[in-house]
Amino acid sequence: MKKHNLIKIQRMRYLFFVFISICFTFFSSCKKEEEVIFTQAPTKKENTNSPKDYLPFTKIELNNLTSFQPAGANWKIVGEVITDRNAKKTITAAEGTGILLNKNDQEKGKNKNLFTPFEHGDIELELDVMIPVGSNSGLYFQSRYEVQIFDSWNVENPKYADMGGIYQRWNKEAPKGEEGYEGYSPRVNAAKAPGLWQHLKVIFHAPKFNNTGKKIKNAWFEKVWLNGFLIHENVDLSGPTRGGGTNADERATGPLMIQGDHGPVAFKNIRYKLYDDKKIGVTNLVRTEYESPGKTIGSLDTIVKVKEEKVNTLSLNDITSKRERKMVAFSGILSIPKSGDYLFSSQTTGIAEFYLNDKKVFRFNNSRDQFGFNKITLEKGNIPFTVVYNQHAPWSRGCNLFVEGPEMQRYSLFEGVSKNVGDFDPLKGIIVEPKDKPIMQRSFVHHKDEKYTHCISVGSPQGVHYSYNLATGSLLKVWSGSFLNTTHMWLSRGFKQSGEPIGLAISMHGDLEFAPLETVNTPWPVPLPENEGFKQLGYELDNSRMPAFSYKIGPTVITNKFSVPEGTRQLKKSVTISKARNLWHKIADGDSIKVLPDNVYVINNESYYIDFSGNNLKPEIRNINDKMELLVKIPEGNSSINYSIIW
């Protein structure tokens, strides 16, 4: 073949491929946008067989007022309460049971305090409380030591008189203005907005007296939690707080008192445990050290003993303090002080086994942040026991064994181990804090027992922050206070690799926020790997360095932007939607959703508010698969919606 013919053929082939490429590009651009189809994952059911991590509380029934000493006319049992967010000390109620309401509606001097018929010494108390705007009350342990109940929303630096504060003592003989002393402020302001249910948990210890009646130990609050956040720890009280009498009034026991003369307030889910100083006796201890059998325990009879000796204390400190491979067993007698149910729990980074009467109670293996539990009914008296710990990985050490029983507060059977060992304190460690501008931190985020890996947390100088799932375009949680504890990400090799919110955090639904639905009753889809058509477009920063996140669902582009209105604890969400087609937006879900005036909604048993005012759209509330959902239909084409999350 001649050379010029070969060149001609090559040119024709090149032009042919160019033509094919142009045609392919043209027809591809004319192709209809592929419809996005979301698949529905199986609904996860709660494992009802999982062990409880505590023994049951005693519940105060709120069917009528007979659960209390004779009450004043200001107290009433009701079925539902709602506060007016725009009016001070205003609360309305519906008939029913389950809620204790102080109406505070009597003439001056006739609004009475409320007392329990039982008296308590050491006690663990939990309850939910709702406070109207500007209202005030208090819980008086033994009728003498007050934990304050107050509308402290938006308070930047809480004092002893704010929500959860331990009220000050009072010396009326002191110069004017100096009467108050020894009040204790909460570590952070964990109070919610007025009209939302707030959870309070308190462990209180009564003063102790000798046989002659002389006080030998002060009363103290071991721990106080507000809305899941630890706000007090080991607060010693030299005497009763103001309104609780004088030092001469201190006793070993007294009734719980709820203040009734300062403002309306509602309570529900009141439960408690009474504690004594009982502990299980440990005697006839024998400690045996074995050659390490590797990553197992096996039968102790088949393992070579290194050393065996009688000891006086049950302790692993000499083992866990060293980087060594060792296995040790303790055997002896446990003296059970009272017949009843006992809950044993263990946490270990090695392998641990616990036996009672030669019967294995549990075996637990390599978990730094989880406990194994077993509830056993025991009779008063002596019972043989054995506990075995195999420290097979010297770089990961530790073993704890806790017990709780009748009138017995949870404690460690091992000597020198705090009952709070392993507790994570978000106020300590490696803290990331925004100063004069917002900051963003990539990390894993734990949300509703799931770990999400493609997340970003945004902190604002105003003290309102949020975590966002980039993989699904979903808001996971919002919180106020300090920003992020990164200890689990950056300390040593890292542990959970997660950023931990510091402050009062509210979990959002965390599902896909936008999805097409065939009908209003179609179950909300769950994102799965095979869901195609969802595409992240990244984020852009505005002049204040707040990000706007964008993504596509088929042809629809959605942009989420968040802002913090000055002077309030809320997060404003602004969403723009372009080229919408048969699209719904899931705003919130929960066990309950209530409608308030002005397009405002109370979500998930009064956990937070959604303020949807200012939109032309009206959300719909639906009940599907035993869950309430708040949805809004997005108009076809281009639109925008704005709403606020308030807590």
Determine how β-strand 215-217 pairs with β-strand 208-209. antiparallel
Query: Which top CATH class is 58-275?
Result: mainly beta
Compute how many other C-beta atoms are within 10 angstroms of the C-beta atom of residue 383.
14
Domains 58-275 and 281-412 fall in the same CATH topology: yes
| pLDDT band at residue 419 under the 50/70/90 scheme | low
Q: Is the pLDDT of residue 332 over 70?
A: yes
CATH of domain 281-412: 2.60.120.260
For the chain, give the percent of residues with pLDDT over 90. Answer: 69
Q: Is the pLDDT of residue 31 over 60?
A: no
Of residues 614, 438, 400, 448, the one with CA closest to residue 542: 438
Question: Residue 48 has what pLDDT?
Answer: 36
More confident residue, 304 or 612: 612
Q: Is the pLDDT of residue 385 over 90?
A: yes
C-alpha atoms less than 13 angstroms from C-alpha of 347 in its C-beta half-sphere: 18
Instruction: Give the global pTM.
Output: 0.86
d(CA 502, CA 433): 10
Question: Residue 528 has what pLDDT?
Answer: 61
What Cα–Cα distance (Å) separates residue 350 from each residue in 159, 300, 353, 388, 420?
A: 44, 17, 10, 10, 19
What are the structural domain ranges in the chain? 58-275, 281-412, 431-646
pLDDT digits over 292-318, tens only?
888 888 888 888 899 999 999 999 888
Q: Is 278 exposed, middle or buried (0-12, 13-18, 19+ CB in 10 A)?
A: middle
Contacts of 486 (CB under 8 A, 6+ apart): 429, 430, 431, 432, 441, 443, 499, 500
pLDDT digits over 144-203, tens only?
999 999 999 989 899 999 999 999 999 999 999 999 999 999 999 999 999 999 999 999
| E-state strands within 176-325 | 180-181, 197-205, 208-209, 215-217, 219-226, 229-237, 254-258, 265-275, 281-290, 305-310
Question: Residue 444 has what pLDDT?
Answer: 94
Question: Residue 532 has what pLDDT?
Answer: 66
Compute how many other C-beta atoms are within 10 angstroms of the C-beta atom of residue 440.
16
pLDDT digits over 103-115, tens only?
999 988 899 999 9
Compute how many other C-beta atoms are within 10 angstroms of the C-beta atom of residue 260.
24
What Cα–Cα distance (Å) separates residue 600 from each residue in 92, 249, 603, 614?
A: 17, 48, 10, 10
**Lowest-confidence segment of 162-176, 492-506, 512-526, 591-605 by average pLDDT:** 492-506
Q: Is 77 exposed, middle or buried (0-12, 13-18, 19+ CB in 10 A)?
A: buried
Q: Is the pLDDT of residue 67 over 90?
A: yes
| pLDDT band at residue 529 under the 50/70/90 scheme | low
Question: Residue 495 has what pLDDT?
Answer: 65
